[in-house]
Structure 1
Amino acid sequence: MAPTLEFAFRLEVDLAEALDFGNTPAGDRRFIPINGGRAEGPKLNATILPGGGDWNVLREDGVGHVFAKYTIKSDDGVLISVTNEGWIPKFRKRSPGDPEDGAEGKSGMVPEEKWYARTNPRFEVQDGPHNWLNRTLFVGELHKPEIPFHVTIDVYSVE
């Protein structure tokens, strides 16, 4: 039987201004501190604690690689470690005249219908009511940012 996805919860993550490391051998490296936020949905409700961050890189081919680590605290008081890694294949802002400019339009921004970003959120938690997070495979859909310093990720369990 083919696996299916079931919506688990939405992460609303508040960010600080990015720290820019510049062009490294891996690509344009940035660190984006996480200031807080919420996880809400049918399977989990929690507060995103400040102190984590996203170590991301924009590769020369325009692909963005995200790697975030942070902590959430469930509404019943349990700390949960989060590692969320993923790819944004059409992240690069292209300039007008670029050979692929037709997909992005004259502004150089990737339009919503062309945006594609998926992650693999992984959770680590003590034994107890949220132990199911340790045993479940998840897929995250990272939405195109619409609010400065804020990202939204819908998290689905693979059933």
Structure 2
Amino acid sequence: MTDNDPLALRYEHVFDIRINFDRRWMTGAIHQGGPNHGYTSIGEGCKVSGPRLNGTLVDHSGADWPVVRADGVVELNAHYMIQADDGALIYIRNLGYVHGPLQRPGYPPLTPYFRCTPYFRAPDGPHEWLNRTVIVGVGQRRPKVTPEDEPDHSLFRYYAVL
């Protein structure tokens, strides 16, 4: 495909989110033989930064409710609130998949495939573009391994599909 191809996928980086985790629980399978369910709450000090959106996540405003399937795939289902620098509150629901652990000796497994598709509800005004734009995200888990490491968090980079 060329740059002039109307079916070529084009995208632009719009913002990043750093999510600090508060608590994690695995509740196990709801039904015998079913997938494991979990809960990961969002903590304090989460930042949103980028060329099209800046702000913070509202402290303790949501959580991820992951499902861990028998094939090792984690289905993400996160809900939380962004507060833009101008004070606007923006709801985000983030669905995605995490799989393919990469094991390093002495470290927790890291996941090379971490992709998501967020959905937004933004108020009229400068952020309403989020309500009508397809956005995809790439994530990376950053666990706390040593006392010198930053707290357990994930980084997400979001791209608008043009």
Could you tell me the TM-score, scaled by structure 1's length? 0.83
Deviation at 1:61, TM superposition (A): 0.5
Q: Does 2:156 correspond to 1:150?
A: no
Unaligned runs of 5+ in 2: 1-5, 145-150
Distance 1:14 1:104 in 2: 22
* Superposed CA RMSD: 2.0
Identity %: 32
Q: Which residue of 2 aligns with 1:66?
A: 76
Spell out the pairing of 1:93-112 with structure 2 (5 A cutoff). 104=103, 110=109
Q: Encode CA deviations 1:84-119: one digit per residue, 9 max, x unaligned.
A: 00001325xxxxxxxxxxx7466695566xx11100
Matched residue pairs, number? Answer: 146
Higher helix content, 1 or 2: 1
Query: Per the alignment, in what secondary structure is the counterpart of residue 130 of structure 2?
Result: helix
Deviation at 1:20, TM superposition (A): 2.1
Q: 1:40 aligns with which of 30, 33, 49?
A: 49
Displaced runs of 4 or more, over 6 A: 105-108
Give 1:14-93 correspondences, 5 Å limit.
14-25=20-31, 26-36=34-44, 37-50=46-59, 51-91=61-101
- Could you say if the C-alpha distance between residues 77 and 105 of structure 1 is closer, same or farther in structure 2, counting changes exceeding 3 Å? closer
| Cα offset, 1:121, TM superposition | 1.1
Partner SS, residue 143 of structure 1: strand
Report the TM-score, using the length of structure 2 for normalisation: 0.81
Name the aligned partner's letter for residue 117 of structure 1. Answer: F
